[in-house]
Structure 1
Amino acid sequence: MRLLLMGPPGAGKGTQAAVISERFAVPAISTGDIFRANVAQQTALGVAAQTYMDAGEYVPDEITNAMVADRLAEGDCAGGFLLDGYPRTPQQVAELDEILALADVGLDAVVLLEADTDELVSRLLARAREQGRADDTEPVIRRRLEVYAAETGPLAADYAARDLLARVDGLGPVDEVTERILTVLTSVAAQRTATSAP
């Protein structure tokens, strides 16, 4: 399975990514993990990214794209992967299309976790209190959610047009949300098996 997991901050992507990757035996790849690994290993890309991060600037697409391409070229991704947090922009969608085309593979599904904004704000405020993040105020959180909606709305529409998008209600107990996602993906896996059968 080659999957993308999308969803606003606080929708529980990280939690669900871990379960899904285990269920389908594919690596869960988050851009945050890729960045940290490259910075820790002082790779050329990591050093370049660190320069932007230290300046409080957005890491350019070309660096992020190169890191993702390197990660997807690793052996454990040969049988599939779950990308969490990438792509975030139409330019990154185009780049991912190119990376997959070069490997002669395609995406099986894009899961979009959806949740009510006020519920997400409550969740993120609670998380900020637990983690002692005083700068995560309600206006800051609402702004992050607005930016997410503006950036990823076009991506969801693009993947929907390709008949890859599965919208899943991200609210409720973790295991219930997991069950909803697995129901969708099991159906996708069955369809893929049916179409690849001789």
Structure 2
Amino acid sequence: MRLILLGPPGAGKGTQAQRLVERHGIVQLSTGDMLRAAVAAGTEVGLKAKAVMDAGQLVSDEIVIGIVADRIEEPDARKGFVLDGFPRTIAQAEALDAMLKQKGLKLDAVIEFKVDNDKLVGRIVQRAKDTEAAGLPVRKDDNPEVFTKRLQEFASLTAALSPYYRERGLLRTVDGMAPIDQVSASIAAILDEAVSA
């Protein structure tokens, strides 16, 4: 089972990805985590990424795809994976498609979390309050101004992915504002349909 979760920050992708990992025995692939792991492991791609990051630049799509390609070869990814936070652009989506095709793999579904941006900002403000009340450090991006900027970036960059995957018959949507268990149930129904198709 190979999936992409699409949606703005705070939409609940991370929560649902963890549930998918537990339920299906697949791995969650976060490009940030994979980059750090590749750099730490000193792989060929990791060394390239380190040089770019040390220079204060953004890691190229080619490097990110290389890291994803290496990662999905590992034994724990054999049952499948869920990509969270990648791809972010059409160029990345095309590169991902080409790389998977080369490996004889394909995506089973792309699940988009539909959300109300204003309510989402409220959700983040509440998350920051709850975190603070629990005596834990609040995430930097749980600041409403920073979060609103991230939503705008998402809309300008990543929104084009929906039509890209819709044209390929892979896009399914869930109500990201619904209660967590309801979102999980919607995703389970989508996956049952995708796997039996």
Pairwise same-fold verdict (TM > 0.5): yes
Cα RMSD after superposing both structures: 2.0
CA–CA distance in structure 2, aligned partners of residues 45 and 127 of structure 1: 36
Q: Equivalent residue for 2:74?
A: 74
| 1:182 matches 2:188 | yes
Q: Equivalent residue for 1:25?
A: 25
Residue segments in structure 2 that go unaligned for 5+ positions in a row: 132-136
State the shift of 1:78 in Å: 2.9
CA–CA distance in structure 2, aligned partners of residues 166 and 134 of structure 1: 31
Q: Equivalent residue for 1:16?
A: 16
Q: Equivalent residue for 1:139?
A: 145
Q: Equivalent residue for 1:114?
A: 114
CA–CA distance in structure 1, aligned partners of residues 141 and 77 of structure 2: 37
CA–CA distance in structure 2, aligned partners of residues 52 and 161 of structure 1: 34
For the 8 Å contact 1:128–1:134, the answer to whether it is kept is no
Q: Equivalent residue for 1:42?
A: 42
Code of the residue aligned with 2:163 in structure 1: it is A
State the shift of 1:32 in Å: 2.1
For the 8 Å contact 1:5–1:82, the answer to whether it is kept is yes
State the shift of 1:134 in Å: 5.7
Percent sequence identity over aligned pairs = 45
For the 8 Å contact 2:127–2:142, the answer to whether it is kept is no
Residue segments in structure 1 that go unaligned for 5+ positions in a row: 192-198
1:150-198 CA-partner distances (Å, limit 9, x unpaired)? 111111111001110001001132112111111111121222xxxxxxx
Q: TM-score, normalised by structure 2?
A: 0.86
For the 8 Å contact 1:100–1:106, the answer to whether it is kept is yes
CA–CA distance in structure 2, aligned partners of residues 179 and 170 of structure 1: 12
For the 8 Å contact 1:27–1:81, the answer to whether it is kept is yes
CA–CA distance in structure 1, aligned partners of residues 165 and 42 of structure 2: 34
Q: Equivalent residue for 1:196?
A: none
CA–CA distance in structure 2, aligned partners of residues 17 and 72 of structure 1: 16
Go from structure 1 to structure 2 and tell me whether the alpha carbon gap of 1:14 and 1:136 turns closer, same or farther (over 3 Å shift): closer
Q: Equivalent residue for 1:172?
A: 178
Q: TM-score, normalised by structure 1?
A: 0.86
| 1:4 matches 2:4 | yes
Q: Equivalent residue for 1:126?
A: 126
Q: Equivalent residue for 1:60?
A: 60
Q: How many residues align?
A: 191
